[in-house]
Structure 1
Amino acid sequence: MNTNVTPLTTVSRGGDAVLFAIEMRGKKLTCSITREALEAHFWLERQANEARLLRAFSDGRKRIVAIAERKARRLATEVIKLTSQDFER
């Protein structure tokens, strides 16, 4: 799969998610992963500041993008919201 993650990764207003975008099959998809998912599956400590939130995202980027790609293919949508459920096996 030829997917690119755009360099712009930001924290949402309120700090409850990390926002990012991926390009997949020539389309730009708007994505987010919840703080709760990062806490549950990527060792983000509760009440972490924005810098730590972005670091947790960066550390788990490959896995997060892979899950976003799978969800995008399954749902055929251009907006992907990843929650803790998406990382449970």
Structure 2
Amino acid sequence: MEALEAPPSLAPDNRSVIFTLSIHGREAECSVLREALEQHFWVQPGAGDARILKAFADGRKRITAVAERKLRAHSDEQIVLTSADFEVRT
């Protein structure tokens, strides 16, 4: 996995954080839904933009690792991370 190119941003509808992931010279636009941040990254419902972006920054390594795995498995799709992507499977 390579570095994120552009800083993350909130989607216009405030329901997700959008980020770009670059892997082996290929860029993919990804997003992580706000509900996933609320359930797995300690964002309170109704939190402001700054808190949402801070939660993304704090969880960036985990979020990008999950996005990378999903991108490798579904290389032709836009990557949208939901709460289910962060659940621990046994």
TM-score, scaled relative to structure 2 = 0.92
Identity %: 44
- Moved runs in structure 1, 4+ residues, more than 2 A? none
TM-score, scaled relative to structure 1 = 0.93
1:12 match: 11
The alignment covers a number of residue pairs equal to: 88
Per the TM alignment, residue 16 of structure 1 is displaced from its structure 2 partner at its CA by 0.5
Give the superposed CA RMSD: 1.0
CA offsets per residue over residues 25-62 of structure 1, 9 Å max, x none? Answer: 10111000000000000000110011111000000000
Whole-angstrom distance in 1 between the partners of 2:71 and 2:20: 12
Q: Which has the higher helix share?
A: 1
Matches within 5 A, 1:6-85: 6-77=5-76, 79-85=78-84
Cα 1:21/1:78, change in 2 over 3 Å: farther
Q: Which has the higher strand share?
A: 1
